[in-house]
């Protein structure tokens, strides 16, 4: 039954973006399919998680300058929700941090220092990570998604150019990497394909992160949410 409803339509169902007839149809299929119901529940959890992460920003008043620009702007053509998936999958212009992260993943020998992880307790390595990148961060526990920390690599020799790469291994041996360093100051969230990998860039005013792995768009969304909240909260 899951083959009749893809992730794009499932997201639309969770977001309430379907028309009444299709919403009822999808709801009936979900009720009859435990696997699909679990995916819908995961998407709802992701949505709630993102809402909590961005709650402080959402609570701030919208600057008057933005309201003026919105009022004066031409109304863009409407876009069907079915196009959202293809838009999200389209290649984005990669910043320098993306290239640095992919280079680190491809050439591990360039790291100044590496730690071989010997414990499932990721927080044993929090202090080493904070010291290396000079940021108030923690090592995310990704075991909820089936990924275990296997190593940490450090790059750069000063607080200004220091970076770290966290390496996780999935149940089937797949590699997931999380590269982080001090933010460039520009908030962004992108997800796209690069060099055969699904890449997610998530940056706030303090920390810049690049996550990469051979995973689906939906899986990357869940991994990125788990990684970012585990890193900063």
pLDDT mean by block of 10 residues, the chain; 233 residues: 68 79 86 85 76 63 64 50 39 68 92 90 92 91 93 85 94 94 85 91 90 91 88 75
| Residue with tokens 């520009």, as numbered in its chain | 186
Q: Supply the pTM of this predicted model.
A: 0.61
C-beta of residue 135 within 8 angstroms of C-beta of residue 182? yes
The confidence score (pLDDT) of residue 79 equals 38
3-state secondary structure (DSSP) of residue 42 = helix
Return d(Cα 92, Cα 106) in angstroms, integer. 20
CB-based burial label for 119 (10 Å; 0-12, 13-18, 19+) = exposed
């Amino acid at each position: 039954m899951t083959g009749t409803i893809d992730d794009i339509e499932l997201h639309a169902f969770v977001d309430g973006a379907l028309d009444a007839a299709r919403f009822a149809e999808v709801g009936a299929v979900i009720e009859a399919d435990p696997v699909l119901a679990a995916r819908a529940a995961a998407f709802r959890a992701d949505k709630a998680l993102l809402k909590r992460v961005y709650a402080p920003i959402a609570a701030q008043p919208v600057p008057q300058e933005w309201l003026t620009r919105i009022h004066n702007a031409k109304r863009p053509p409407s876009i069907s929700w079915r196009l959202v998936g293809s838009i999200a999958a389209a290649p984005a212009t990669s910043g320098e941090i993306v290239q640095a992260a992919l280079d680190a993943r491809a050439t591990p020998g360039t790291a100044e220092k590496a730690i071989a992880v010997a414990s499932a307790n990721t927080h044993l390595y929090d202090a080493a990570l904070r010291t290396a990148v000079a940021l108030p961060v923690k090592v995310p526990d990704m075991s909820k998604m089936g990924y275990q920390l296997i190593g940490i690599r450090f790059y750069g020799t000063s607080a200004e150019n220091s970076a770290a790469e966290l390496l996780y291994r999935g149940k089937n041996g797949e590699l997931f990497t999380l590269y982080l360093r001090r933010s460039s100051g520009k908030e962004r969230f992108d997800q796209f394909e690069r060099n055969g990998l699904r890449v997610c860039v998530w940056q706030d005013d303090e920390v810049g992160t690049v996550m990469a792995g051979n995973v689906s768009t939906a899986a990357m969304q869940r991994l990125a949410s788990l990684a970012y909240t585990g890193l900063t909260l």
